[in-house]
Amino acid sequence: MRKKRIMIIGPGGSGKTSLAHAINGFTGPARRTQNMVYGEKTLDVPGVYLESPWMHKHIIAAAQDASHVLMLVDQSSCRESYPPGFAKAFRVPVIGVITGSGEKPEHDGWCIRQLKKAGVREPYYHINLPERTGLHELMEALK
């Protein structure tokens, strides 16, 4: 039986790799990834997989190795990234994560609407990795 990991998806620049490093306990610098990266506890999916509709099937197939799917939206960037109902394609719990929390609080409503449109149910977790806020609550939800 394969080890189940936490799959992290989101648009480019939303903090996927930084979040994967935080979950895995890695303290080195985050670099852009062009391929799926299997960490000790995570599966980091490059943003280009989400941004290219013909790659969505690869995300869904890779989710077979997932215990949870984290769908990220970046509070500092209002980009529509997920197709409507995309979260319903997964057979594991899907958790909505708003990254960069506190950077542009006026965009919070937009982020929540984006997650709801994608089919992600509440609660949504607001995290800010440089300030290390919200990470503990997210980790508790993943247990």
Counting every residue written for the chain, the total comes to 143
Q: What pLDDT score does 1 carry?
A: 57
Rg of the chain over all Cα atoms, to the nearest angstrom = 14
**DSSP strand pairing (42-44 vs 37-38):** antiparallel
Q: What pLDDT score does 86 carry?
A: 97
pLDDT in tens, 127-141: 998 888 889 999 999
d(CA 68, CA 21): 16
Q: What pLDDT score does 63 carry?
A: 95
Q: Full-prediction pTM beyond 0.85? A: yes
Q: Could you tell me if 10 and 77 are in contact, meaning their C-beta atoms sit under 8 angstroms apart?
A: no
